[in-house]
Chains A and B, each alone.
Chain A
Amino acid sequence: MDLSLYFTRQDLWGILPEIVLLVGALIILSIELFARSQRAAMLGVGILSLVIAGGFASKNFGSSFILFQGMVTLNDYSTFFDLLYMTAGIVTMVISYNYLERKGGETRGEYFALILFATMGMMLMTRGNDLVIIFLGMELLSLSLYVLVGFLRHDVFSNESAIKYLLLGAFATGFFLFGAVLVYGTTGTTNFQHIASAITNNEILSDTLLSLGIGLLLVGFAFKVALVPFHMWSPDVYQGAPTSVTAFLCTAPKAAGFGALLKVFLVAFPALHADWQDLLWALALLTMIVGNISALVQTNVKRMLAFSSVTHAGYLCIGILVLNEMGVSAILFYLLVYSVMNLGAFGIISLLEKEEKGVNFKDYEGLASKHPWLSASLALFMLSLAGFPPTAGFVAKYTLFSSAISEGYIWLIIIAILNTLVSVYYYVRLIVNMYMRTSEETLVPFLHPLLSVVIFILAISIMFFGVLPGWLIDTVTQAARIYT
């Protein structure tokens, strides 16, 4: 059989990062086979394979390839996301070390392997140039996440949230697939460029069915990135999942969801933007408001952050509406900063957690006097989430909102700013608890040196990208050229 009919050497080079991750995952699973509880070794292999894959992926920066007959495209856009996922993966692995044991579980090899599989899935989502590939990536990601969420097998909440996530996820996937089918049926192709040209060349069989297809695809994505009213799974799942998994769940997959959403809607359906613009406008509005108001009344920090991440998804939708490269680059910047802040916040929460304690606002009282550095970092992440200058969160919000203002979305931005102001309340509440309350018992963090270093780096980069965002802005501006 002549394989070169199906793929070329260049294709294989292109997916080398995925291959590395796959090999890494298999090695981890084999270690498990021969020697149990080799946690350090498995962690090492996991991180190493992410680093190597990242190294290969970053070599693509500045060039672009079309692979597998247009199924996959490699460009700065996809590379940006590749590196984002890998960073999130590494941080997650570091956070996870020891965490599951503290919660009475066991760190099995599957855990690290699943993170690698999830990363592969996400990479396919933003590298894919075809609805089928996007779907494949999404499923690979989702299946890994379902298992990770339920990884604390003895913990009833972890199990509950995994089942919820699985069932609702399957439900939403159905809509996505149906949408893809309608698009294929009306345009005769699943390739983005071909869809776009079919639309502009008036080769559509039925406009109604096509716009229905777009609507259903939007539903599928809206579920993945938790837009209201498709967000309901997220607070439960974020809260029930092991915190290390939550850190991963609310950062990289959300970035992947937005990455794929952007690509599909801006590359395949830009000509039909009148169809989906109003829908997205309404979703953005609902998501911001509902997420924010719900976050106000939470007593559980993880749940608060879950609603906060719903709110942030609402802000990000505004960026899609901008419909130009400025909007895309603002989204990329925002996604990266958002991931760093949340990884940091969840990372700190995970190391403060002990049995039932460490997840409620009240538990954080008086933390600052005992653990000033840790509290200062957490406070920094909160201020950045709230969008205070000079943190990176401010620059992210600023570039996002100003790109929308210049496209005339003044009312949406007024509402977004009002929401930002309200959101300060629940972020600062945590700071108030740490700094302005005292308590007999304070939480005892489980710090290991690697984790301290990672949290320190995350905190520093929040400050760094807030004060000197130039380099990152240049990078995302380059990465925002998805049309090529």
Chain B
Amino acid sequence: MIGLIPFFPLLGFLINGLGGKRISERMSGIIASVVVGLSFIVAITLFGEFLKIGTPLEQTLFTWIAVGKFTVSFSYVLDSLSLVMVLVITGVGLLIHIFSIGYMKGDPGIQRYFSYLNLFTFMMLTLVMSDNFLAMFLGWEGVGLCSYLLIGFWFEDPVKAAAGKKAFIVNRIGDFGFLLAMFLIFSRFGSLKFMDVLIPQQIAQIPIEIVTAITLLLFLGATGKSAQIPLHIWLPDAMAGPTPVSALIHAATMVTAGVYLIARCGILFAASEITMSVIAVIGILTAFFAATIALTETDIKKVLAYSTISQLGFMFAAVGVGAFAAGIFHLMTHAFFKGLLFLAAGSVIHGMSGEQNMLKMGGLKQKMPTTYWTMLAGVAAISGLPLLSGFFSKDEILWNVYSSQFGGNILFGIGLFTAAMTAFYMFRLFFMTFHGDRRWSKEVSPHESPKIMTIPLIMLAVLSVVGGFIGIPESWGGHNFFHQFLQKSTQDATGYITHQYSSGLLLSENILMILSIVAAIGGLLLAYRFYVQRPDIPGKISKSLSIAYKLVSGKYFIDELYGLLFVRPLRNGSELFLKKFDISVIDGIANGSGKVMLVLGNKLRRIQTGVMQNYAAVIFLGVISIIFYLYLK
């Protein structure tokens, strides 16, 4: 039964992938959506069953690799943590699939698009449902590959193809961490099953340095996938892909895989204080810096991209201070409102015939009423306006950052300030797009999107508004159903951490909540003043703060820095290698055998003798050094 959840999308992938053009445009979208819908139904059914019996559901499909004492079976497990993820992936995924039918209408490669989307869903489900690191790694690599294919989907545009490549390369750096951590785990624990590794007594026997190394390496993998400093550079470029892809992969699901990984291995991470502190600091810093960049972006999708990085930073801060449930809670609400925001932005871009620059929008409120109201719900939710989903989840994170032993006042202060910035830049986006003057050119005739696109928007808007009620904090006398539910998975980790509330806390949870409401509303009002009442102010400010403005709008020039430090030396190095080594040493004077193909005639004889001598000389050198080594030994 559990196996059916990933099976349906795989089936959809096969149908759309192998059928190709034989399947009509309409049909391919319907097939893709139906299979995800079926998975969602199965997931809901199993959710009910899980509530009833209360123990994780498991299904072993087959033994994948068995070498000696080492066995890894391909089995899926559904506990509360993976159930939350599965419901988000299939639920939000289904809405995004439906939205895509409208958004991608008329695209010649639509069958390919839907087959990739289904493959992605399958891989993502494998990632969150597998019961061991190795099968998780399969999903981990698979989602990366699909993301790469979908970012470069409109490959006619070289910029977009290059963006895909960047995402790919950065993710490989993260994968390096994951792989190495996996080997270390196996050599120390003798198993890759979560059930065998994530046992406190077991972890206690491993030297703490090793645990720190393993968790830091896993965290490296997480930073790559979840776009955290310093591996965040790929996500903004990934916006080159179709907008529903940004919503599904680069907002709701794949980029949260890093948070999931840490929450899943919470017990392991909690054992290393160093790693936890690193994660919390990196998380908050990422949240802060990404938010500052979002302040000045004018591309509507780029704002959302940096906002995603920033929100992911919050999630990492949460898991970094040991509040695993809070991190996952925010992951879920974020999937609702950020999925919504991306789709709404997609609806705007669709209505504006592909325009993404907010400077060329404005006054779209009347033209696109449904998009307007749904987006308002999303913007309000992410800003943390009271009682909306983002309010509860963000507040819980801030409270935990403040009160946990790994957090503290400084991290909390930065977090609160970032929350205010979030409200500001999100309402800036909203006002610039829908209010003010109409800045679009005459050729564009903005129009509301068709029903197939607006219905998913409405449903996500409802979720964004009410989604937080499952996690009402206990200081409100609430029950916090979400916490209770997740404890079935994360309770060991949280218990292990011995969450010490520093005794001399100045603020209580409720006072803190008021602070964050003030921050959110302050940000909102500032944005209203700047972008609705006095649109001339932003220009003046950016002039008077020109250096800071340049630094921020240049995204701190991190791409350029990496180019200078790594990319160029590597490329130069390998070119040097080609020129100096492959050609002059290996292939003789200026004529590599690669060029032999091109340079014909009388040169050939000369090259041959030159080459042969060089080759033989190198072999001889090798022999001499081996003999020398053996003699000296």
Chain A interface (Cβ < 8 Å from any Cβ of B): 156-157, 160, 163-164, 167-168, 171-172, 175, 208, 211-212, 215-216, 218-219, 222-223, 229-230, 232-233, 235-236, 239-240, 275, 278-279, 293-294, 296-300, 303, 326, 329-330, 356, 372, 388-390, 394-395, 398-399, 401-403, 405-406, 413-414, 417-418, 421, 424-425, 428, 432, 435-438, 467-470, 473-474, 477
User: Complex: how many Å from CA A438 to CA B157?
Assistant: 11
User: Complex: how many Å from CA A324 to CA B578?
Assistant: 38
Chain B residues, CB < 8 A from A156: 600, 604
Chain A residues, CB < 8 A from B615: 164, 168, 232-233
Which residue of B165, B577, B611 contacts A236 across the interface (Cβ within 8 Å)? B611
Other than A218-B626, A235-B586, A413-B180, give 18 A-B pairs with Cβ distance below 8 A. Answer: A157-B597, A160-B596, A229-B622, A235-B593, A236-B611, A275-B633, A297-B575, A298-B594, A300-B594, A303-B594, A326-B68, A372-B20, A417-B179, A421-B172, A432-B165, A435-B149, A467-B64, A470-B63
Min Cβ gap A190→B in Å is 21
Chain A residues, CB < 8 A from B20: 372
Nearest CB in chain A to that of B622: its residue: A229
Contact A432 B161 (CB under 8 A): yes
Nearest CB in chain B to that of A240: its residue: B593
Contact B65 A473 (CB under 8 A): yes
B273 near A: Cβ within 8 Å?
no
Contact A275 B630 (CB under 8 A): yes
Binding stretch for chain A, among B136-144, B291-299, B444-452, B537-545:
B136-144
User: Complex: how many Å from CA A167 to CA B339?
Assistant: 65
User: Complex: how many Å from CA A194 to CA B32?
Assistant: 66
Chain A residues, CB < 8 A from B134: 389, 398
Contact B145 A388 (CB under 8 A): yes
Chain B residues, CB < 8 A from A236: 587, 593, 611
Chain A residues, CB < 8 A from B575: 297
**Number of A-B pairs whose CB atoms are under 8 Å?**
164
Chain A residues, CB < 8 A from B621: 229
B476 near A: Cβ within 8 Å?
no
Min Cβ gap A470→B in Å is 6
Chain B residues, CB < 8 A from A421: 172-173, 175-176
Contact A215 B630 (CB under 8 A): yes
Contact B623 A477 (CB under 8 A): no
Nearest CB in chain A to that of B608: its residue: A160
Min Cβ gap B114→A in Å is 16
Nearest CB in chain B to that of A407: its residue: B187
Contact A219 B187 (CB under 8 A): no
Contact B616 A168 (CB under 8 A): yes
4 A-B pairs closest in CB distance: A436-B155, A389-B138, A297-B578, A229-B622
User: Complex: how many Å from CA A470 to CA B184?
Assistant: 23
Contact A402 B183 (CB under 8 A): yes
Chain A residues, CB < 8 A from B586: 232, 235
A-B pairs with beta carbons under 8 Å apart, 5 shown: A278-B629, A297-B574, A388-B145, A405-B183, A406-B186
Which residue of B169, B578, B619 contacts A294 across the interface (Cβ within 8 Å)? B578
Chain A residues, CB < 8 A from B600: 156
A-facing residues in B255-308 (Cβ within 8 Å): none
Contact B62 A164 (CB under 8 A): no
Chain B residues, CB < 8 A from A235: 586, 593
User: Complex: how many Å from CA A16 to CA B597?
Assistant: 44
A-facing residues in B562-620 (Cβ within 8 Å): 573-575, 577-578, 581-582, 586-587, 593-594, 596-597, 600, 604, 608, 611-612, 614-616, 618-619
B209 near A: Cβ within 8 Å?
no
Known: A164-B612, A303-B594. A296 touches B574 (CB 8 A): yes
User: Complex: how many Å from CA A438 to CA B109?
Assistant: 13
Task: Point out which of A215, A230, A436 has the most chain B C-beta atoms below 10 A from its C-beta.
Answer: A436
Chain A residues, CB < 8 A from B70: 402
Min Cβ gap A59→B in Å is 27
Contact A402 B186 (CB under 8 A): yes
Chain B residues, CB < 8 A from A388: 141, 145
User: Complex: how many Å from CA A482 to CA B227?
Assistant: 48
Chain A residues, CB < 8 A from B64: 467-470
Contact A223 B594 (CB under 8 A): no
User: Complex: how many Å from CA A400 to CA B96?
Assistant: 41
User: Complex: how many Å from CA A278 to CA B597?
Assistant: 39
User: Complex: how many Å from CA A132 to CA B496?
Assistant: 64
Chain B residues, CB < 8 A from A219: 619, 622-623, 626
B66 near A: Cβ within 8 Å?
yes
Chain B residues, CB < 8 A from A233: 615
Contact B142 A389 (CB under 8 A): yes
Task: Point out which of A212, A232, A437 has the most chain B C-beta atoms below 10 A from its C-beta.
Answer: A232
Chain A residues, CB < 8 A from B68: 326, 477
Contact A405 B186 (CB under 8 A): yes
Chain A residues, CB < 8 A from B168: 424, 428
Contact B65 A398 (CB under 8 A): yes
In the complex, per-residue mask of B129-164: 1 if CB is within 8 Å of any chain A CB, else 0:
000001001100110010001001001100001001
Contact A239 B593 (CB under 8 A): yes
User: Complex: how many Å from CA A371 to CA B573?
Assistant: 36
Which residue of A160, A406, A417, A477 contacts B176 across the interface (Cβ within 8 Å)? A417
Nearest CB in chain B to that of A437: its residue: B155
B199 near A: Cβ within 8 Å?
no
Min Cβ gap A65→B in Å is 27
Known: A230-B619, A389-B142, A435-B155. A470 touches B66 (CB 8 A): yes
Min Cβ gap B182→A in Å is 9
In the complex, per-residue mask of B51-79: 1 if CB is within 8 Å of any chain A CB, else 0:
00000000000111111101000100000
Known: A212-B630, A388-B141, A437-B155. A168 touches B612 (CB 8 A): yes
B627 near A: Cβ within 8 Å?
yes
Which residue of B63, B183, B587, B593 contacts A401 across the interface (Cβ within 8 Å)? B183
Contact A232 B618 (CB under 8 A): yes
Chain A residues, CB < 8 A from B169: 425
Chain B residues, CB < 8 A from A294: 577-578, 581-582
Min Cβ gap A308→B in Å is 15
Min Cβ gap A185→B in Å is 16
A-facing residues in B82-115 (Cβ within 8 Å): none
Min Cβ gap B307→A in Å is 28
Nearest CB in chain B to that of A474: its residue: B66
User: Complex: how many Å from CA A414 to CA B183?
Assistant: 10
Min Cβ gap A270→B in Å is 18
Min Cβ gap B357→A in Å is 26
Min Cβ gap A363→B in Å is 13
User: Complex: how many Å from CA A171 to CA B65?
Assistant: 43
User: Complex: how many Å from CA A309 to CA B301?
Assistant: 43
Nearest CB in chain A to that of B623: its residue: A219
User: Complex: how many Å from CA A279 to CA B582?
Assistant: 24
Min Cβ gap B304→A in Å is 25
Contact B633 A171 (CB under 8 A): no
Known: A297-B582, A395-B65, A424-B172. A279 touches B629 (CB 8 A): yes
A-facing residues in B226-277 (Cβ within 8 Å): none
User: Complex: how many Å from CA A428 to CA B137?
Assistant: 19
Known: A297-B577, A298-B594. A172 touches B619 (CB 8 A): yes
User: Complex: how many Å from CA A468 to CA B184?
Assistant: 24
Known: A218-B626, A229-B621, A413-B183. A163 touches B608 (CB 8 A): yes
